Each structure stands twice: as C-alpha cells, then as structure tokens.
Amino acid sequence: MGEGRKDYRGDFLAEVEARVEEGEWVKMCMQCGVCSGSCPLGPDWEHPPHEIFQWIRANRRAEVLGSPSVWMCTSCHACVVRCPRGVPVAHVMHGLAHYAARLGLAPPGQPTRRLAERFWENMTRTGRVNEPRLALSLLFANGPGEGLRTALRMKDAGLDLVRAGRLSPLAALAGDGVEDPAGLRAVLEKARAIELAKTAALED
C-alpha cells in the first residue's frame, strides 16, 4: 500500500513535538511497556500509553486525538517514576488531551473529560475549587433522577467527610476565592490568547 509509507513518515510526531505540552518526549519512548504495565487504570484503557506513543510515530493522528484513552490518566505518576527513559507519561497524556480539546477533536461526553471541564469552570470562577458545588454539578450531570439516586447511595461517605471537616455544605453557598477573581480570569484569558497565537503561528 503506497499510502502506508506516507503514514509512517511521522508528520504527526513532528506536530506533537511542536504543539503538545511535553510532546518532545515522545521520541524518547523505547516501547518497553512499563508505563502501561504500571498504570492502575491500565485494564480500563482502550489503548494504554505505550500504544498511544507508538501510534503517534505511526502517524495515526485521528485515532490518537479522538481517543478516549488520553483522558483516562489520573496523574498517579506510577508510570513517570518507573519509565526507564524518563518520559513524563502523565504530562504527555494531559498535553494530548488538551490539544485534542483545543482542536475540537476530543471525544464528546467522555466522563473524565466532563469532570475536567466542570473542574475548570468551577475553579476559574473564584480562583478556588468549590468542592460541594463541584460534587453537586457532577451528581446531577445525568439528570435529577440519577443524581438523587447517587446522592442517596453516597450519603454516608458524604456525612463522613463533613464529620471529618473535609466537606462543608455551607461552602456551597458562600465559599472562598482569591482576592481578585476578575484579575485571575484576565490572566487566564491572556494565557489562552498566547496559546492560540502560538498555534496560529505554527499553522502558517
């Protein structure tokens, strides 16, 4: 297949190196599989990290950027400490996920992606994560019926957290934040603009 040769030219690797945070590490991977073997969530990934790295080199752009797998990483860092080549696997996964989202290629409705988005919205509002509100928004993400059922099922855990002082129901109403939330949002907006400008520059 003539196309096959083109597929292995590695254009996508160059793209990842230029645009994905920590993407320049991908070429260091020696395909030993220790990251995938060490990942506590490994059995639940459709395509574990070493496979994603190999796919990048095999130019399988659509599959990588559209994969729910790059959203599975919980940053436990088991892979990062064990990787014999020092690849920051977790960071590359987040970089890929972020890049896919920026390009609008990330799988919609993927649960960890939804968590990430809600976390971001919640946190950027005041500059502090409002945990009860985040928990509530996740509970009712699939409609009120399921939300109530889950809330009942989880109530003991919730009460334990309140008793241990780890969760304050009042915070859902008040909550704290940084001194200048508007300033924070301006900073984030600026960072976003810089990031987009960088991508646009590479596009030329």
Check binding of 91 to other proteins (CB under 8 A): no
DSSP per-residue codes, 98-145: HHHHHTT-SPTT-HHHHHHHHHHHHHHHHSS--HHHHHHHHHGGG-HH
Q: What is the DSSP letter of 29?
A: -
Q: Which conformational region is residue 39 in: left (phi greater than 0), alpha (psi within -120 to 50 degrees), or beta?
A: beta
Q: Contact letters (x/-) for ligand SF4, 145-174, by CB under 6 A?
A: ------------------------------
Diameter of the chain by CA atoms? Answer: 65
Per DSSP (E only), the strands in the chain are none
Check binding of 34 to other proteins (CB under 8 A): yes
- At its nearest, how many Å lie between other proteins and the CB of residue 6? 24
Phi, psi angles (nearest 5°) of residue 139: -60, -45
Residues 6-45 that bind ligand SF4 (CB under 6 A): 29-35, 38-39, 41
Check binding of 84 to other proteins (CB under 8 A): yes
Q: Contact letters (x/-) for other proteins, 40-59, by CB under 8 A?
A: --xx----x-xx--------
- Per CB under 6 A, the segment of 4-12, 57-65, 89-97, 124-132 that binds ligand SF4 is 89-97
- At its nearest, how many Å lie between other proteins and the CB of residue 27? 15
Check binding of 38 to other proteins (CB under 8 A): yes
Count of residues engaged in binding other proteins, rule: CB under 8 A: 19
A 10 A CB-CB count for 146 gives 12
Alpha carbons 200 and 29: distance in angstroms, whole number: 28
What residue type is 202 in one-letter code? L
- At its nearest, how many Å lie between other proteins and the CB of residue 37? 3
The residues that touch ligand SF4, with contacts defined as CB under 6 A, are 29-35, 38-39, 41, 49-50, 53, 73-79, 83-85, 87, 89-90, 93
